[in-house]
Structure 1
Amino acid sequence: MAKYSEQQLTNWTKPPSDTEQTKLENSEKMVRDAISSDEKLKKKSTETFGQGSYANNTNVRLNSDIDINVCYTGGFFFELPKEKKKEDYGLNNPSSYSFSEFKDDVENALVNKFGRKDVKRNDKCITIVANTTRIETDVVPTWEHRRYSENGKYTVGTEFRRDAGGYITNFPKQHISNGINKNNNTQRRFKRLTRLHRKLRYKMIDDGEAVSDNITSFLLECLVWNVPNRIMTDYDTWNERLRESIVYIYGKTKTDADCKEWGEVSELFYLFHSGRKWTRKDVNDYMILLWEHLEYK
């Protein structure tokens, strides 16, 4: 007999309560107001939008923070195909406004709105601490990022520079769009199954099980993304859908060859390329741990 009842699993697939959702929305609105009312930033071309589990509607508990992207669209970073140079695309005029200046301006706008003691600058983001009306919010200042193809067309994402050095590129809008499409194509079960996997990870950690730090909420969403739609549509219960998703992920992560083409939800990065925090073996080991936790036979 499975460890958790069907009713318990069903409860864990549900989105946040109305109260939780209100706090999430309040946080996004306050950040948007801070940026749009700032004397310096309101003269710049920017876009503010949610990203991560909040924006993708896959968040599972209130004490997880939310991510708000504040993107400068008046300049951009870029990546080019091999053998191509920036001159081939007419990219010869660097912006006089730097990324570090933009991050400073976003920080100042947030301090003006929330107060210095409630705003903490970090390596990758700027955190607004939680209070009674909002949950902890990570504001990520970014620039537009353009991934060029051979024909000169480009895909738009975002990029930020760490205070400690280095950069990170993401494609959050493509992630959101693809997630919505898969959810619609699976009788709205993709996001529910993602929440279930995420909730179980938290439950295992709370129970003191040795869950690797490499198994992140983002990774779990991407793993469920690579599960075939049929597993979400052809079974009648959450115990069956959960069980079959674990069987599928475990089987496909036994070797590099079987999952080398797996992508993030955006489908613009491979899930298991070099330099990742996680490895294929991390995932395979975790699926065994999860199976044992669920007491499946």
Structure 2
Amino acid sequence: MNKTDRSALLSRWIKPSSDTEKDQQDRAERMVREAFSAHPAFRSTDYRIYAKGSYRNNTNVRLDSDVDIVIELHECLYYDWAPNVTPSNPAPTPYTGSWTKEKWRGEVLAAITQKFGAADVDGTGNIAINVAAKSGSRPSIDIVPSFLYKQYSDTARSASLDRTGSCVWASDGKKIVNWPQQQADNGIAKNTATGGRYKYFVRALKNAENVLAAAGTIVEMPSYFMECLVYNVDDATLMSGRDLDQGFKAMLQALHQRLGNEADDRMLEPNEIKYLFHSTQKWTVAMGLELVISTWNYLGYGDDA
């Protein structure tokens, strides 16, 4: 592939969802909100609904436009203490209400099933409840029942020092803490600092992964992994080069170097709280290197004179 071909391909790859896809994504979110608003068990209940992931962060790509929605209970919360912080005594007042992990998920599933119909709802997933796509109407929807989460950073539990996140209890009993607001805020800041190239290159790398995985060149990888990888490239590199082709090439080179040095250089998720690589992740350093090298070869950067 020559520079002209690459430039044309990258110009397509950096584009977000089409207007039609965006309308369908927004319709899906509205329908989920309507489902919860109409559900009797949620009346007088303190909860929040918000989008997360690629849809919220505007890093989704054309023809790959699912929607992730969180319904987060705020009547109670889960919490942990930050590393090296001595827990306070007494501890926060225990919750004595009726909501349990199992009841919350069960009522979320009931609300979604009432709205979309049992045939289109799959509640067997370990984390999310999935609503099937309807061609021409809505994309696939993943609904995540969650709880408000706090990480206390001092013994007095000072609100100004707390980290607020979202806690998900998987069906297998595992607790998963996410930081969607931090991810969104940091992504917006990086995109502004790079003149839009951050999200351009996230979409381009996601498209590359889609092509390579479909061809069997690499294993399929979670789309969030590509967002994480590009986030770990410094702003100056993303801004380098006279055009997108040169900038994308520089990004791949920087990622290859960072991934090769990962043992000494800890990379972070866009929330800047969680490490990108650890034993519980769905990806590895080797997968990142495979993606970068395969993308480099597919685009023919090694053939440049």
TM bracket (short chain)? over 0.9
Please report how far the alpha carbon of residue 107 of structure 1 lies from its aligned counterpart in structure 2 after TM superposition.
0.9
SS in 2 for 1:253: helix
Q: Which residue does 1:158 correspond to in 2?
A: 166
Unmatched 5+ residue regions in structure 1? none
Q: Which residue does 1:179 correspond to in 2?
A: 187
Q: Which residue does 2:22 correspond to in 1?
A: 21
Unmatched 5+ residue regions in structure 2? none
Matched, 1:212 2:219: yes
In structure 1, distance between residues paired with 2:241 and 2:283 = 30
Matched, 1:198 2:199: no
Please report how far the alpha carbon of residue 97 of structure 1 lies from its aligned counterpart in structure 2 after TM superposition.
1.4
Q: Which residue does 2:262 correspond to in 1?
A: 256
RMSD: 1.8
SS in 2 for 1:124: coil
> Does the aligned pair in 2 maintain the 1:119–1:129 contact within 8 Å?
yes
In the TM superposition, structure 1's runs of 4+ consecutive aligned residues that sit over 4 Å from their partners are: none
Please report how far the alpha carbon of residue 73 of structure 1 lies from its aligned counterpart in structure 2 after TM superposition.
0.8
**More displaced stretch, 86-95 vs 238-247:** 86-95
Deviation digits for residues 227-274 of structure 1 (CA, Å, limit 9, x no counterpart): 1111222322121111111100101111334431x2100111011233
Q: Which residue does 1:32 correspond to in 2?
A: 33
Q: Which residue does 1:245 correspond to in 2?
A: 251
In structure 2, distance between residues paired with 1:15 and 1:34 = 27
Deviation digits for residues 151-188 of structure 1 (CA, Å, limit 9, x no counterpart): 42321111111112212110011111111111111111
TM-score by length of 2: 0.90
> Does the aligned pair in 2 maintain the 1:46–1:72 contact within 8 Å?
yes
Q: Which residue does 1:75 correspond to in 2?
A: 76
Please report how far the alpha carbon of residue 275 of structure 1 lies from its aligned counterpart in structure 2 after TM superposition.
2.2
**More displaced stretch, 286-295 vs 45-54:** 286-295
In structure 2, distance between residues paired with 1:36 and 1:87 = 39
How many residue pairs were aligned? Answer: 294
Matched, 1:126 2:129: yes
**More displaced stretch, 67-76 vs 114-123:** 114-123
Deviation digits for residues 194-213 of structure 1 (CA, Å, limit 9, x no counterpart): 0000001111122331x134
SS in 2 for 1:44: coil
- Amino acid in the other structure paired with 1:179: G
- Percent of pairs with identical residues: 28
Matched, 1:271 2:272: no
Please report how far the alpha carbon of residue 95 of structure 1 lies from its aligned counterpart in structure 2 after TM superposition.
4.2
SS in 2 for 1:284: helix
> Does the aligned pair in 2 maintain the 1:57–1:191 contact within 8 Å?
yes
Q: Which residue does 1:222 correspond to in 2?
A: 228
Please report how far the alpha carbon of residue 102 of structure 1 lies from its aligned counterpart in structure 2 after TM superposition.
0.8
Matched, 1:168 2:173: no
**More displaced stretch, 287-296 vs 50-59:** 287-296
Matched, 1:144 2:151: no
- Amino acid in the other structure paired with 1:129: A
TM-score by length of 1: 0.93
